[in-house]
Structure 1
């Protein structure tokens, strides 16, 4: 499973434009017919007013690629819920979570067959909220926000068809962000491993030191900017899109050109493998072979190295990802749990969603030795499991570092469609190859992004 900085692989499948008839919510607690995204629903599921009703009936709960490794845990959660609510039944299904997840989920929603409780990423939640297929949790349970770290609750705000921001998801688990590095390789390059750089450009300067010292024998990082756009820009507080999300504005910030110029310089100087410019591979394999100085920003990567390359793990250090202009750590967006507005047993679905994501169950899952994830509830992050870490090994240090970060971390991830992200990335790649100046690449990237955003409406 991949829980981490959901920048390219997850944030790259944002928000399909939905054209189903009757998109949005109508009806309410004052009577009359009710619809959600064109589907007929119980009037209590939509409109104003708290959701009420007996916790009785069967619902379907869908996760993403979790059943194989965590069957015992989730079956236990379901059993506990059903014991507490004798009239409720939960059927668990598991989606493979491939690159067609968003389109398939949208198709299910349009067919009025969306699972009652479903594990979503931010892009899919964005699309389903806009079309009115998800329960407005902030309205249907005014106390829903209480268990969660405020920034994570805020990250679950998406816009409906009218452009109003509503809460349609509960934050579930996240991966956090940190720097992982090979201490030996950085020491050879004269990089101080006792303190982390405080800015993205400071990190780039360290990449340059590695390039000059390694001379092609090893590298600093991977070249493909798809792993960094828009994550780096978010951390630098560069606005990628306008506040309404309808236009690109990153070219308005002079630091964007500086960022592209840095990437081109680093690529030319050999900080990155030449063949990695268009590769979708992350640093995992090359780092484990001692050929890349910086590893993934995903905390679970530390365990991957421990299991696959003990000799490199012994040389691995972890540190704070640059705070940069944002002024705090960025955790990206977590995975979410949502309730379908089309659920025939919404009181059961909402009750189970809140049970699944409560502090007790989040903490229990995070303690599973087969998973490297972090919770989104304040109580969970204060658990001794995260706070009383005494080991000096990289994984223990990573767990403590990320747990501390998440209490105040920003979740300001910008969501880009695949087309818009690729349009921007391709222009940066041209600059990195020396085929365009940084200034021209940024200008052209914004123009192409705006063309696509205009087409999407």
Structure 2
């Protein structure tokens, strides 16, 4: 029987921090002195489980989880609510302001951040401390928010591999078996490719620029998220490197324009040698560009000079306003168990955060295809400690886009890099401080 499901209208997205502050979320008390971390009691009663855009693709899977949990706990009823990704921030803000947050929330790190910073969710390091060693360390640490050590139980993850067009790499006299391992090495390889072949090494994007900043050792933001920190010698070296690469053709010619093609489109058309991306893109390339796929090889994802490869985490949080915390917490534990995480991964392109699930042969046996090899590389990185937790949660989409806008002309050679970084730091600081009012 189909479950009842409320729907949430899609509304225009705005900066998350601004949205939640405007709704008064930032004014509530934090901490657990008032007993809001009390998770004692029977596993019984009604709870609401809210996810981000999993319906209709995963209707059978989620409903199956709920049926199994309700069978184990006959006194429990779980109502599932699925909301579109683009509307989640607004719904969270409205529900927090009205005191009507769902009992269990499926959220990414950035969307969870305002709730966690204000102590509005249970600290899993307190109420489920025994779970810590069950999860990938970088996933567990991705939900650190100051006083709230772990704002959610990690659920599903993504982390990159480096996809290569071996035809371009070999034409440049480079060895596909010795690919770049860091963003700084990517710049060096791309310079060689441009010099030897007249083609590009990669296409920078808004997100790539930010990851490259981190890789070069640029802090991006101070400890209390009140000021940007991008006007540094390391940042100047990066912008100068990119400007020189752009001038010499080492990055895709139209990648700095107002509306460049997506990275995957540029790679599929055979115009760049390298593409740092999630493993699921390998199948998309095979379907859309079989000619390029014939020259495709997969390697370790690019890593920071100081940390590991990026990891994107979704987790299950329980608001302190839940009237049935015991049941909500038990359901979150159930959904994020090793068995259920493995089942989700086998039906999708995501990775489990549960260590035991990642050790299943489904991940460890590559099977000889690029898709399986990509999955095995990513899973091994997650279990071996080669991934880093999410960056500071104040660095959101608006921050990324402002950084790109401020440095775009400098990379294209139309503005002095040092001056551009000074202006960028000022503009980003103003952005951060606006979001904190």
Using structure 1 for the length normalisation, give the TM-score. Answer: 0.85
Do the aligned residues in 2 keep the contact of 1:24 with 1:130 (CA within 8 Å)? no
- Give 2:154's aligned residue: 171
Displacement of 1:189 in angstroms is 2.2
- Give 1:382's aligned residue: 359
- Residues paired across the two proteins, number: 416
- Give 1:372's aligned residue: 349
CA deviations 1:146-170 (Å, max 9, x no partner) are: 31122221111113xxxx2432111
Aligned pairs for 1:13-52 (under 5 A) are 15-16=17-18, 18=21, 20=24, 22-25=27-30, 28=33, 44=35, 46-47=36-37, 51-52=39-40
Displacement of 1:25 in angstroms is 3.5
Cα distance in 2 between the residues matched to 1:280 and 1:143: 47
SS at match of 1:25: coil
- Give 1:219's aligned residue: 200
Aligned pairs for 1:25-424 (under 5 A) are 25=30, 28=33, 44=35, 46-47=36-37, 51-98=39-86, 100-159=87-146, 164-215=147-198, 219-224=200-205, 226-252=206-232, 254-277=233-256, 278-279=258-259, 281-327=261-307, 329-368=308-347, 371-389=348-366, 391-407=367-383, 408=385, 409-415=387-393, 416-424=395-403
SS at match of 1:181: strand
Q: Mean Cα displacement is larger for which, 353-362 or 418-427?
A: 418-427
Using structure 2 for the length normalisation, give the TM-score. Answer: 0.88
Displaced runs of 4 or more, over 6 A: none
Unaligned runs of 5+ in 1: 1-11, 29-33, 35-43
Displacement of 1:324 in angstroms is 4.1
Cα distance in 1 between the residues matched to 2:102 and 2:143: 19
Distance 1:250 1:26, change over 3 A: closer
Unaligned runs of 5+ in 2: 1-13
Distance 1:375 1:357, change over 3 A: same
Do the aligned residues in 2 keep the contact of 1:339 with 1:349 (CA within 8 Å)? yes
Cα distance in 1 between the residues matched to 2:15 and 2:356: 32
Do the aligned residues in 2 keep the contact of 1:223 with 1:267 (CA within 8 Å)? no
Alignment root-mean-square deviation, CA: 2.2
Aligned pairs for 1:435-454 (under 5 A) are 435-454=414-433
Cα distance in 1 between the residues matched to 2:302 and 2:282: 18
SS at match of 1:60: strand
